[in-house]
Amino acid sequence: MATSLPERNETQYYFGAGPAQLPKPVIIQLSKDIVNINNQGIGIGEISHRSKLAQDIIDNTRENLYKLLSNNGNIDIEDVKKHYDVFFLQGGGTTGFSSIPLNFKKFNQVQNKKGGYVISGSWSLKSYQEAKRLGCDVVPLYNDKEVNGEFKGSYTGDYEALLSKHDDLSYVYVCENETVNGIEYDQSLKELAKVCQQRNIELISDLSSDIFSREINIFDYGVIMAGAQKNIGIAGLTLYIVKKSILANIKASGSIDELPIAFDWNLQNDNNSCYNTIPMVPLHTLNLVFENLLSAGGISAQEKINVEKAEKLYAVLDKYSLEGDNEKKFVKLTVSKQFRSKMNVVFNLKTTDLENDFVKKAEAKGFSAIKGHRSVGGIRVSIYNAVKLEAVESLIKFIEEFAEQL
């Protein structure tokens, strides 16, 4: 077996939807720390999660996360800490789908309330279905596929009118970026957050595929849940940011007997995320990603780059859109402009044969992992934080060359 680190070909452009590419400094530091962390003579995956070193890393990760949430000091960090707890559980997004309704179940029973789901793509649909399967009292508030025949965006009407049809909601659940369908909320989420606050409803968001890609106002949310393996790390861990008042309310109502102990938010939160063994490699990776983000100017700096990447890529796709008047039309964009994802750019080409040809030629040029999700087909270019502007520009050049050959 090898005794030194391999080289990594920087001309290889990876656009995978997750697990996804990590920033190079992170992956190099991680590799070193897997061998020997802090000169302890042992690697990060080998130490006890209860050791002083591991506890310091957990605390430091949380601290860095609070810093990121403060949006470069524009939000008072002490205020965030006062109102929100942060904990990490083994798992991914899917474990979040189960843990959210189960933690709310007893509270909802006691209060005679339910969870409302805005369904804007595959993941919010799966989350709703899981809550239902677990016997939780949940209701779909809106389903874009039922309205538009396929997922094209999310609700565009008046949220006040939508929520006023349900006076028994404890939470409204959204998936802020639908990774499979390429649908991401725009400013309308702010409107939803405002109406939720007015109606005393908690907004719960799955941010698995766009967390820290753009600034958010944490005070808009009751719960944020995110699997780590796209924008902020590697698989194995779910991040939860939960309002302290929600944890207190859930504690006061007690939990259902069937709540799996490892999913018990209050138990995990009270035990510094260490009621059971927290996977330290993913946790440490998260911290390295946070440090890298902070040292590069925080989320606002990253957001600017992300906006530029997405705008440039959509511009070339629009140029060749079947709906445009370019003589070389071959791109089909189904997501409504308002909800275009800045993380997962999803599109089809005129025919499946053309798509196959596109993928083959792209791969030959070193652009990999651009095939659409198996459930929807087509092309999906994921341009998470770690994907450089230069990679997107190279892909754009390839698209132009591909168009030339048609």
CB burial class (10 A; 0-12, 13-18, 19+) of residue 108? buried
Q: Which residues on adjacent β-strands are paired with residue 227?
A: 238
User: What is the smallest separation between the CB atom of 279 and ligand PMP, expressed in angstroms?
Assistant: 13
Q: How far is CA 213 from the centre of its chain?
A: 9
**What is the x/- site pattern for ligand PMP, positions 205-224, by CB under 6 A?**
-x-xx---------------
> Which is closer to ligand PMP, CB of 94 or CB of 197?
94
User: What is the smallest separation between the CB atom of 295 and ligand PMP, expressed in angstroms?
Assistant: 27
User: What is the smallest separation between the CB atom of 227 and ligand PMP, expressed in angstroms?
Assistant: 4
User: What is the smallest separation between the CB atom of 226 and ligand PMP, expressed in angstroms?
Assistant: 8
Task: Kindly tell me which residue out of 49, 69, 93, 195 binds ligand PMP, with binding defined by CB under 6 A.
Answer: 93
74-86 burial, b for 16+ CB within 10 Å, e for fewer?
ebeeeebbeebbb
Which residues, at least 6 apart from 368, have a Cβ–Cβ distance to it below 8 Å?
A: 12, 13, 14, 15, 16, 362
**What is the x/- site pattern for ligand PMP, positions 168-207, by CB under 6 A?**
-------x---x--------------------------x-
Would you call 259 helix, strand, or coil by DSSP? coil
User: What is the smallest separation between the CB atom of 208 and ligand PMP, expressed in angstroms?
Assistant: 4
| Positive or negative torsion for Cα 185, 186, 188, 193 | positive
CA-only gyration radius of the chain, Å: 22
Please spell the DSSP secondary structure of 140-171, one letter per residue. EEEEHHHHHSS------S-HHHHHTT-S-EEE
> Which is closer to ligand PMP, CB of 123 or CB of 159?
123
The label of the residue with tokens 């083994």 reads 90
Task: Kindly tell me which residue out of 92, 153, 279, 282 binds ligand PMP, with binding defined by CB under 6 A.
Answer: 92
> Which is closer to ligand PMP, CB of 92 or CB of 182?
92
**Rounded CA separation 126/259 (Å):** 19
> Which is closer to ligand PMP, CB of 80 or CB of 223?
223
Please give the size of the binding site for ligand PMP, defined by CB under 6 A: 11
Task: Kindly tell me which residue out of 227, 233, 298, 372 binds ligand PMP, with binding defined by CB under 6 A.
Answer: 227
User: What is the smallest separation between the CB atom of 158 and ligand PMP, expressed in angstroms?
Assistant: 26
> Which is closer to ligand PMP, CB of 16 or CB of 25?
16
The percent helix, strand, coil of the chain (3-state, each to 5) is: 45, 15, 40
Residue positions annotated with a catalytic role: 123, 206, 230
| Amino acid sitting at position 137 | D
Which residues, at least 6 apart from 358, have a Cβ–Cβ distance to it below 8 Å?
A: 349, 379, 402
Is the Cβ–Cβ distance between 144 and 120 less than 8 Å?
Answer: yes
**What is the x/- site pattern for ligand PMP, positions 282-321, by CB under 6 A?**
----------------------------------------
User: What is the smallest separation between the CB atom of 358 and ligand PMP, expressed in angstroms?
Assistant: 23
CB burial class (10 A; 0-12, 13-18, 19+) of residue 368? middle
Q: Which two tokens stand for residue 88?
A: 């990490």
**Rounded CA separation 222/170 (Å):** 10
> Which is closer to ligand PMP, CB of 18 or CB of 331?
18
Task: Kindly tell me which residue out of 29, 94, 156, 394 binds ligand PMP, with binding defined by CB under 6 A.
Answer: 94
> Which is closer to ligand PMP, CB of 170 or CB of 231?
231
Residue 143 found at the interface with ligand PMP (CB under 6 A): no
> Which is closer to ligand PMP, CB of 81 or CB of 126?
126
Tell me whether strands 223-227 and 202-206 are parallel, antiparallel or unpaired.
parallel
Region near ligand PMP per CB under 6 A, out of 39-47, 53-61, 92-100, 288-296: 92-100
Chain residues that interact with ligand PMP, rule: CB under 6 A = 18, 92-94, 123, 175, 179, 206, 208-209, 227
